[in-house]
Amino acid sequence: MLRVNDLTISFTRYGRGVSRDALKPVCGLNLDVKPGELLAVIGSSGSGKSLLAHAILGILPGNCRVEGGLLFRGEPLTPRRQKALRGRSIALIPQSVGFLNPLVRLGGQVRRAAALSGMAGGQARHAADAAFSRYGLAPAVSRYFPHQVSGGMARRVLSATATVGDADLIIADEPTTGLHREASRESLGFLRALADAGKSVLVITHDLKAVLPWADRVAVFHGGTTVELTAAANFSNDLSGLRHPYSRAMWMALPENEFAAEHASTQGGEQGCPFSYLCGCSDAACAAAPPAPVLFEDGFVRCHHA
């Protein structure tokens, strides 16, 4: 459904006066999502997770340069195609209630999303009603304003907005932040149901523990690149399935496990492997060049020592 090949995003930023410097927050990023799959994108803040979502939707700011391939259904995602597809075939479930229009009743917002996805008036109304009932929202809720509903309910409305247009690729940005256990389980359960219905779902999150039971595969981000793409089942106390030291550190840092905190910095090196200066087994090769992806049957890893 979606394939990202060596995506690189660079920013040009003005420093003092007219001096300009380039930042490369995302460099050499790879992943793919299949139909019927829920792929979790895991990483610390600043690892480039949200930039990936913005790049797929084509909503990066103007001072950005995107290089590398973004393929949707096998064809390149050009700015023109992104504009045509977003809201129709590619939908975003944003993070919080703050993304709803505070001055419009919830029903109106879902109907507008349906209309924007190309439906006619009556059809849009039906689709909106169906989306409401799909997420267990009472018809009365459609007359509420965003400030009248709880965080969990707002997330259901956002999910309804994103899925009303029958999109094939759904990107959820931090769907569990600020939610307690039951609500986060519900939020991820909805996404799993979408994947089971044949959609592709990309879940961007920092919360490894919450998303693991629902994900098919996990892409681990560090320093703007995918260090490992692996089956979710490989995150277990038997660490042998995890091929990258950062993935293992992520698992060991969970409070249920070792609560270990050896690799806490978010900065990557200027050249070489972005993890080399934190890694216990780094050597001259790691400092010299970034590792190329080594393919396995269930994913790949970028590590000179894998």
Give the residue with the Cβ less far from another protein, 182 or 297: 182
Angle ∠(77,80,84) on CA atoms, nearest 5: 90
Task: Between 35 and 151, name the residue whose CB sits nearer to another protein.
Answer: 151
Give yes or no for residue 284 binding another protein (CB under 8 A): no
Which of residues 12, 133, 236, 265 is near another protein by CB under 8 A?
265
The residue among 263 and 304 lying less far from another protein, judged by its C-beta, is: 263
269 binds another protein (CB under 8 A): no
Residue closer to another protein by CB (options 92, 220) is 220
Interface region with another protein, contact rule CB under 8 A, candidates 32-40, 226-234, 237-245, 261-269: 261-269
Site string for another protein, 128-167 (x = CB under 8 A): ----------------------xx----------------
Identity of the residue, 119 or 279, whose beta carbon is nearer to another protein in the bound complex: 279
Contact status: 208 vs another protein (CB under 8 A): yes
Q: By C-alpha distance, which of 156, 49, 145, 164 is closest to 96? A: 156
d(CA 242, CA 76): 31
Question: 10 Å Cβ neighbour count for 12?
Answer: 12
Check binding of 26 to another protein (CB under 8 A): no
Contacts with another protein, residue ranges (CB under 8 A): 42-46, 150-151, 177-183, 206, 208-209, 249-251, 253-256, 259-261, 263-266
